[in-house]
């Protein structure tokens, strides 16, 4: 199998200037004016038989009025394919993202594409540099999972304005109208919290991820939803934000603080498995029995979760399938015809709760 090429911060001297959106009228502009989809406009301009004469007439007249012309620059870029896909991920060492890469490779290589992987290392600045590097390497499209530090999206908007196909996965940019592949984070968190409630735990804390990430927000909502639907009070003191560290020490420290509250929690739902491991360590050092007196559920199903003592209950994410679906969507957009408009879609994949001993009451 072809090995993955890794791009880190190696291109400091590249030229990559954000540009304003072109003043040239686009198919999307015509669609917006007429209140129809871009794909309908595209088919109308090609005199497609499925489009009514009235719609064709309205589209043609407005196109003439606005002096619509196909974007020759975008078309020329489509013709100069590199058969290479870029991937930006937060951390290569993360078990979940490694499975996503495997899924991407599975589809990409079979379709005749090479894969270049860049890791942001959870840094906005690195993410911007990775974007520049991939652009200057003339990739045909980019798959992106954002860093926890990304609060501005200029680098993504610049690619979007240039017509570079993009698909976001897991950690997505909601402000751009691109295709996205996610898991049902709300449902996963709801089921994890409900499981702890069914085991008999009543004071359940949540080690949440970075506040700005949509996945963190949805998992918090799922956690809260499960509490409220089971007539348990949502206690803000029990929600602490852990910045997605790659070791368990920050989560251990946060859990220790929770366990020192006047009314400490008796269980934790963590936004990732590393945080769950830190919670288990803190509980043991506090003298609590696991399983029994304290329950823990993690998220992602890292390989080590079946080897901890006790073995860790966790949410299994379909990383391989996420990579496959993201790659399929991107390649479909890359290989679209010159006048074909691909409507952005959001694919939501299901998760599975893996029940082990760490969440047991007895």
Alpha helices in 67-113 (DSSP H): 72-79, 95-110
Token pair listed for 226: 């499960």
Domains of the chain: 5-20+75-181+320-348 (3.40.50.2300), 27-70 (1.10.260.40), 185-317+352-359 (3.40.50.2300)
At 338 the pLDDT is: 67
- Give 204-233 pLDDT, tens digit per residue: 999 998 888 999 999 999 999 999 999 999
Distance CA 276, CA 250 (A): 11
Per-residue pLDDT of the chain (362 residues; tens, 9 = 90+): 433 444 433 333 334 433 333 456 888 888 888 988 888 888 788 777 778 999 999 988 998 888 887 654 454 455 568 899 999 999 988 889 999 999 999 999 999 999 999 999 999 999 999 999 999 999 999 999 999 999 999 999 999 888 899 999 999 999 999 999 999 999 999 999 999 999 999 999 999 988 889 999 999 999 999 999 999 999 999 999 876 556 789 999 999 999 999 999 999 999 999 999 999 999 999 999 999 999 999 999 998 999 999 999 999 999 999 999 999 999 999 998 766 778 899 999 999 999 999 999 87
Q: How many CB atoms lie within 10 A of CB 347?
A: 17
What the block records as the tokens of 17 is 């200037």
Measured CA to CA in angstroms, residue 38 lies from 43, 72, 139, 330 at distances of 9, 18, 25, 18
Residues 6+ apart with CB under 8 A from 140: 81, 82, 83, 84, 85, 113, 165, 334
pTM: 0.77
Residue 253 in tokens? 């420290």
Backbone phi, psi, residue 87, to 5°: -135, 130
pLDDT, tens only, 141-169: 999 999 999 999 999 999 988 889 999 99
User: 3-state SS of 176-189?
Assistant: CCCEEEEECHHHHH
Alpha-carbon span 146 to 131, nearest angstrom: 11
């Amino acid at each position: 199998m072809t090995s993955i090429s890794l791009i880190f911060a190696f291109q400091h001297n590249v030229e990559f200037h954000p540009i304003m959106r072109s003043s040239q009228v686009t198919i999307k502009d015509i669609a917006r004016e007429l209140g129809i989809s871009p794909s309908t406009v595209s088919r109308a301009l090609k005199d497609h038989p499925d489009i009514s004469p009235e719609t064709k007439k309205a589209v043609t007249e407005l196109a003439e009025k606005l002096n619509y012309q196909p974007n020759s620059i975008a078309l020329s870029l489509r013709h100069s394919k590199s058969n290479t896909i870029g991937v930006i991920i937060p951390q290569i060492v993360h078990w979940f993202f490694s499975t996503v890469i495997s899924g991407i490779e599975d589809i990409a290589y079979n379709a005749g594409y090479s894969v270049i992987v860049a890791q942001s290392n959870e840094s906005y600045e690195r993410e911007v540099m990775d974007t520049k590097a991939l652009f200057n390497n003339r990739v045909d499209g980019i798959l992106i999972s954002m860093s926890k530090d990304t609060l501005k999206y200029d680098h993504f908007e610049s690619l979007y304005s240039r017509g570079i196909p993009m698909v976001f996965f897991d950690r997505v940019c909601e402000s751009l109208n691109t295709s996205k592949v996610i898991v049902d984070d709300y449902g996963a968190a709801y089921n994890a919290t409900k499981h702890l409630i069914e085991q008999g735990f009543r004071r359940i804390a949540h080690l949440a991820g970075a506040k700005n990430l949509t996945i963190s927000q949805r998992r918090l909502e799922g956690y809260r939803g499960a509490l409220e639907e089971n007539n348990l009070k949502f206690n803000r003191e029990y929600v602490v934000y852990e910045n997605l560290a790659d070791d368990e020490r920050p989560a251990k420290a946060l859990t220790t603080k929770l366990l020192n509250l006047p009314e400490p929690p008796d269980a934790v739902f963590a936004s990732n498995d590393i945080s769950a491991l830190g919670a288990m360590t803190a509980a043991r050092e506090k003298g609590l029995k696991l399983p029994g007196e304290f329950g823990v559920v993690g998220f992602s199903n890292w390989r080590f979760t079946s080897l901890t003592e006790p073995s860790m209950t966790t949410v299994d994410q379909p990383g391989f399938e996420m990579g496959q679906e993201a790659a399929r969507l991107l390649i479909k957009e890359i290989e679209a015809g010159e006048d074909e408009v691909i409507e952005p879609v959001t694919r939501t994949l299901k998760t599975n709760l893996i029940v082990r001993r760490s969440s047991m009451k007895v």
